Chains A and B, each alone.
Chain A
């Protein structure tokens, strides 16, 4: 069966510090991968998605970037965090086929102080 991991689970960082969040998927190959941000326990904002190694699409221009160095690894980064980067970050994967549901990781709670 497939599993998705995210770490760390929680993170407190000062403004201006760098960020690296990691997501890995097991039990599948060639997945589509997604990064979402959820603010205040409500709606999800799609940040990035990837259909293959090195292929990243950005949905919202911002202070963040994403990379996919391996087939089942997806990394969210920032060079300098802003207060507004605080939130709950969710990674998800789906099979590379239309109409398929996405499966979410446990999330990372990021607080920028």
Chain B
């Protein structure tokens, strides 16, 4: 069975500074990897995904993530944080293979961007 770890419950960063939200995963074989963002009392919004190819994936709102197979990590990054980036971020994994449409989510990391 697959799993996702988001080791930080909360990340605080000053506005304008770079941000990183960490994610490591465990899966049999190759992974599909995803990042989602959730604002209070709202559904999850898709940010980006890694399927195959370039290890650096660019997504919505200036976010990017780097797939590192040897470290089984998929950290979310942004060069310059905005106050509006404050939200709950989820990493998710799905194994590559037939019928692999179920996602396993991490517990989430609360990002607070301080003005």
Contact with B along A19-62 (1 / 0, CB 8 A): 00000000000001000000001111010010100000000000
Q: Are B46 and A103 in contact (CB under 8 A)?
A: yes
Nearest-neighbour CB distance to chain B for A18, whole angstroms, equals 24
**Distance A88 CA – B44 CA, assembled complex (angstroms):** 12
- Decide: A98 near B94, CB < 8 A? Known: A41-B88, A42-B107, A46-B102: yes
A90 (CB) vs chain B CBs: closest residue: B43
Question: Which of B41, B42, B51, B105 is the one whose CB lies under 8 Å from A99?
Answer: B51
Question: B68 an interface residue at 8 Å Cβ cutoff?
Answer: no
Interface residues on A, range: 20 to 34
**Distance A32 CA – B94 CA, assembled complex (angstroms):** 15
Provide the residues of chain A in CB contact with B44, threshold 8 Å: 44, 90, 92, 104
Provide the residues of chain B in CB contact with A104, threshold 8 Å: 36, 43-45
Provide the residues of chain B in CB contact with A88, threshold 8 Å: 41
- Decide: A107 near B42, CB < 8 A? Known: A94-B101, A99-B96: yes
Nearest-neighbour CB distance to chain A for B107, whole angstroms, equals 4
A–B complex contacts, Cβ < 8 Å, 12 sampled? A42-B88, A42-B108, A43-B108, A49-B101, A90-B43, A90-B44, A98-B98, A98-B100, A99-B49, A103-B46, A106-B43, A107-B41
Residues of A whose CB lies within 8 Å of any CB of B are: 32, 41-44, 46, 49, 51, 88, 90, 92, 94, 96-107, 109
Closest 3 CB pairs of A and B: A104-B43, A43-B107, A104-B44
Residues of B whose CB lies within 8 Å of any CB of A are: 32, 34, 36, 40-46, 49, 51, 88, 90, 94, 96-103, 105-108
